[in-house]
Structure 1
Amino acid sequence: MCPQHNAPASEVPASKGPMQPLREPRLDAGNKHHDHYARRLPSWRNALRNRLIPIVRWETPWLAYMQDTLRSPALDAYFAYTANLGTHTFFMIFLPIQFWCGYTSVGRATVFMLAAGVYLTGFLKDLVCLPRPLSPPLARISMSGSAALEYGFPSSHSANAVSVAFYAIYTIRQSPEAYHPYVYIGSQALFYFYALSIIFGRLYCGMHGFLDVLVGSTIGAMITAFYLAYIDWLESWIFSGTYTDIFVATLVACIMIRINPEPADDCPCFDDSVSFLGVVIGINLGAWHYAQTGLALDTPIPSTVPFDLGEIGLLKTTIRIVLGVVMIFMWRATAKPALLKMLPPFFRLLEQARLNLPRAFFLNASKYTSVPTLHGDDNLIPSASELPHKIMNLAHPRKRSVSVGPQSAADAYETLAYRNRRRRESVSSLDGAIAEDDSWTPSSRPHAKPQTPALEKAEPDLLGAGLLPTPMQSRIHSYEHMMGTGPVYPSEKNATTPPDSDTGEGGDTLQFTQTLTDEENETEKREIFMKLMKPRVRYDVEVVTKLIVYTGIAWLAVEGNPLLFELVGLGMPGQA
């Protein structure tokens, strides 16, 4: 996915050639940073965000306490690696193989549940625009460069893991006689452990808060329940054989793309939603047509690819998989650049006729002449040339993935807002006044430790009476003090804690004891934003390009490649 873009697309200069020079993002001079979301969001969405942001701030010190207490190199590596088991990429790699090996019902169920999870969590992320818990005090542990650029609420990992785990457990329980008793119990336990590991890992890695994973897990469970309740109706609708039904199913997916809310920052969640809805369109079109070819089986569901490992053999099965993967990458490698070249003139015509559907943070076709080669713009299936680099990166998860400090525009705005809150609290501490628009009061500052021998002797009694903070409370207070402090680190930096000057009671405390002028606010804002990862231009044609490319990938998985297998002699004997 593309890096975070903290300025609207309308502020990017028009192209003078194939490569677009990107100037530094323009900040809104004279506007205080805590008004950013009030200016960008409708009032009801901003009000909802203001109701939820105190929860994110409250839970951050507790997450930092948990992370700091449990953290070890072994757990860092474990949760960094296993987080990949809850990503869209992991499932996209194995989904086509499920179809080619005859597990069509499982493949379709997984696609629909993942697509629903990605879309619903992405919809809510863009709707509410809640940041991830602040860093510092948390350290972010992630092997995904784009994950930190997304909003935090709710957790897509949790939704994906819970929906898939619950569906697998339900499937296992439908036929207990097919398993050895130990296998029956152990397989269910394994899926429970998988879901819990992914969920807890998001907390441990500092990528999500308790609210994020709770809502994400609830969404995942509801998706599974909905799918199991309505699966028969859904499948009968898709495989009715009429053009009208498949057209309506495709139209519904396109409408879902259009109604996705505009975020206040350039969050890549929308790109993932487009990709997965393209997959849904592709598997529906492909399955609908493949079921009518006479080559597919009708059991357990129509469009099932004929497959039996005993008849086909391990060698031919391996060749099928390799050939199928190669065809997918060939399609992606040819379709994507062709569409990026052909679509801009068409989009300019639509724009002239005022029929275009512009989206924030995407550059309109009239403002560029051509789309340059895009790198790192896909969070689901990378290009073949990027695979060796991504595989090499897996060898050093801890070295690459630990970062401290804001990583996205949402992080930066939350850091600035929290700093401003602390300053207002400091200024108003004499009379206890707090601004009316504030809705959160942090815990009181830790008391000074008794210094006299008499008080030291009485400390256990005072502690028991609740007059002195416990060690845990003191640590929570220290994490609260770290929130909104510290410099910005690049995501590649191997940092496990912020510098000592940012965690103690030193010079950083002074910045919270005075208010800043508008010019000083702007300077502070600029210093943070200029240290974030520089954004690239995003183009309006990328949305349709991604939709078509992933529709084609899904079509290849459910119809194109199975037909190819039959054509080249890799099908089931007697089926051709």
Structure 2
Amino acid sequence: SKLAPGSWPQVNVPLRESGDTSPQGARAEGGLGRHPASRQTSAETPAEGQLARVSNWPLYYLFCFGAELGNELFYILFFPFWIWNLDPLVGRRLVVIWVLVMYLGQCTKDIIRWPRPASPPVVKLEVFYNSEYSMPSTHAMSGTAIPISMVLLTYGRWQYPLIYGLILIPCWCSLVCLSRIYMGMHSILDIIAGFLYTILILAVFYPFVDLIDNFNQTHKYAPLIIIGLHLALGIFSFTLDTWSTSRGDTAEILGSGAGIACGSHVTYKMGLVLDPSLDTLPLSGPPVTMTLFGKAILRILIGMVFVLVVRNIMKKITIPLACKISNIPCDDIRKARQHMEVELPYRYITYGMVGFSITFFVPYIFFFIGIS
């Protein structure tokens, strides 16, 4: 059946060429994840270079938001917010689960090597990740792992009705998963595989999350083991395939996880952040006052400014340094970063320092100025 012209979107958006995966192009796009007339004959299906249009703005922005729940901007706000304002223990363990799930997902992509959905008939509204493989969807994996882990980690530790968590899980998960189909980046099979893969990972590894977190904080040689293990995993992932955004993202995830774990170790040893004793559980949230709200906003503003400054400084230092050590021309930064000798240390060190700042430097600043 053919949709009436009035049901088609109204804002013109160019479709990307299939080989163009530039991040600059990704930011300029928007539209429908699958063309509304995708069931038409091939002659009626829009070809490369034609325009897509958006008319259902609420649905479009809803799925744009769902897609952002699996992107760097969300992570760099979400995990620090938990650690600085809500519950550092839950925040740390969420990071452990996130690193494990995302690493296995990214490596599995590079082993299976299934391509993204073909365009046409799919209209791709997001081309930043187009150079990655498709199976399984790591957005779906993250969108499944985070809400389920939040409920598992907080229920019984905090006082709240379980029904809230049972509502949160399907809403969060379905929003992220459906957004990937809408954006034209994954098939339904990619989404289902990502969901089931995450359930399997959580079933196997969730019982060990407490042990991992306690080891990271208390073991004498934890920082050395953490750094060595995450670096080894990064080197392994870089040997799976040629360059793609997946490799850089994997190194970024591993660096962040290592930095947060090492920072929590130093913080614990210095006694800056102490988890409540078991006899005080379950915890109840304090009453929301203007003072409490003001301190939370202040912590986010100060913390994020510090984190972004650290990230920018480390980026400017590590890329030229890695190029110099490896004798790689640094004139074209984007091309230089396609070398493992540049991409791995740049991502790993930069985001390692970002993670370390989140769990050590920033809490120390809060302690120093009296807003812990």
TM tier, shorter chain?
0.7 to 0.9
Q: Which amino acid aligns with 2:348?
A: L
Distance 1:280 1:197, change over 3 A: same
Q: Secondary structure at the match of 1:287?
A: helix
Q: Secondary structure at the match of 2:69?
A: helix
Q: Secondary structure at the match of 1:141?
A: coil
Any idea what the Cα deviations from partners look like across 1:280-301, whole Å, max 9, x if unmatched? 1101111111101122213369
Distance 1:189 1:64, change over 3 A: farther
In structure 1, which of residues 83, 105, 111 is the aligned counterpart of residue 89 of structure 2?
A: 105
Contact 1:154 1:215 in 2 (8 A): yes
Contact 2:115 2:134 in 1 (8 A): yes
Question: How far apart, in 2, do the equivalents of 1:228 and 1:570 lie?
Answer: 33
Instruction: Tell me the residue number matched to 1:76.
Output: 60
Q: Does 1:338 align with 2:317?
A: yes
Question: How far apart, in 1, do the equivalents of 2:125 and 2:193 lie?
Answer: 21
Instruction: Tell me the residue number matched to 1:433.
Output: none
- CA drift of 1:264 comes to 5.2
Instruction: Tell me the residue number matched to 2:23.
Output: none
Question: How far apart, in 1, do the equivalents of 2:256 and 2:351 lie?
Answer: 5
Instruction: Tell me the residue number matched to 1:554.
Output: 355
Q: Which amino acid aligns with 2:182?
A: Y
Contact 2:96 2:209 in 1 (8 A): no
Question: How far apart, in 2, do the equivalents of 1:192 and 1:104 lie?
Answer: 25
Point out which structure has higher relative CO (alpha carbons under 8 A, 6+ apart): 1
**Structure 1: runs of 5+ lacking an equivalent:** 7-59, 302-306, 349-364, 378-534, 572-576
Contact 2:89 2:275 in 1 (8 A): no
Instruction: Tell me the residue number matched to 1:219.
Output: 197
CA-atom RMSD, angstroms?
A: 3.4
- CA drift of 1:346 comes to 2.5
Distance 1:185 1:216, change over 3 A: same
Q: Does 1:538 align with 2:338?
A: yes
Task: Report which of the two structures shows the higher radius of gyration computed on alpha carbons.
Answer: 1
Any idea what the Cα deviations from partners look like across 1:121-175, whole Å, max 9, x if unmatched? 2111222221112111121233xx4122221111011100111122233346546
Distance 1:371 1:117, change over 3 A: farther
Aligned residues: 322
Report 1:311-390 matches (<5 A). Answer: 313-348=292-327, 365=328, 368=329, 370-371=330-331, 374=333
Q: Does 1:163 align with 2:145?
A: yes
Question: How far apart, in 2, do the equivalents of 1:85 and 1:294 lie?
Answer: 33
Question: How far apart, in 1, do the equivalents of 2:80 and 2:304 lie?
Answer: 8
Range that drifts further, 165-174 or 113-122: 165-174
Q: Which amino acid aligns with 1:150?
A: E
- CA drift of 1:72 comes to 6.6
Report 1:418-429 matches (<5 A). Answer: none
Report 1:139-150 matches (<5 A). Answer: 139-142=123-126, 145-150=127-132
Q: Does 1:249 align with 2:49?
A: no
Distance 1:319 1:222, change over 3 A: same
Report 1:66-465 matches (<5 A). Answer: 73-74=56-57, 75-142=59-126, 145-171=127-153, 173-174=155-156, 178-180=159-161, 184-243=162-221, 245-260=222-237, 262=239, 266-299=243-276, 313-348=292-327, 365=328, 368=329, 370-371=330-331, 374=333
Q: Secondary structure at the match of 2:177?
A: helix
Q: Percent identity?
A: 21
In structure 2, which of residues 362, 366, 369 is the aligned counterpart of residue 565 of structure 1?
A: 366
Contact 2:88 2:275 in 1 (8 A): no
Contact 1:163 1:223 in 2 (8 A): no
Q: Which amino acid aligns with 1:73?
A: N
Normalising by the residue count of structure 2, what TM-score does the alignment of the two structures yield?
0.76
Contact 1:126 1:262 in 2 (8 A): no
Q: Secondary structure at the match of 2:275?
A: coil
Any idea what the Cα deviations from partners look like across 1:449-471, whole Å, max 9, x if unmatched? xxxxxxxxxxxxxxxxxxxxxxx
Distance 1:262 1:323, change over 3 A: same
Question: How far apart, in 1, do the equivalents of 2:310 and 2:105 lie?
Answer: 29
Range that drifts further, 192-201 or 129-138: 192-201
Q: Which amino acid aligns with 1:228?
A: Y
Report 1:20-31 matches (<5 A). Answer: none
Question: How far apart, in 1, do the equivalents of 2:216 and 2:17 lie?
Answer: 38
Q: Secondary structure at the match of 1:260?
A: helix
Any idea what the Cα deviations from partners look like across 1:206-258, whole Å, max 9, x if unmatched? 21113211221122223333343112221232223312x33122211111111
Normalising by the residue count of structure 1, what TM-score does the alignment of the two structures yield?
0.51
**Structure 2: runs of 5+ lacking an equivalent:** 1-15, 20-33, 46-53, 279-284
Question: How far apart, in 2, do the equivalents of 1:174 and 1:123 lie?
Answer: 34
Question: How far apart, in 2, do the equivalents of 1:225 and 1:155 lie?
Answer: 19
Question: How far apart, in 2, do the equivalents of 1:172 and 1:189 lie?
Answer: 15
Q: Which amino acid aligns with 1:165?
A: P
Q: Secondary structure at the match of 1:316?
A: helix
Distance 1:346 1:161, change over 3 A: same
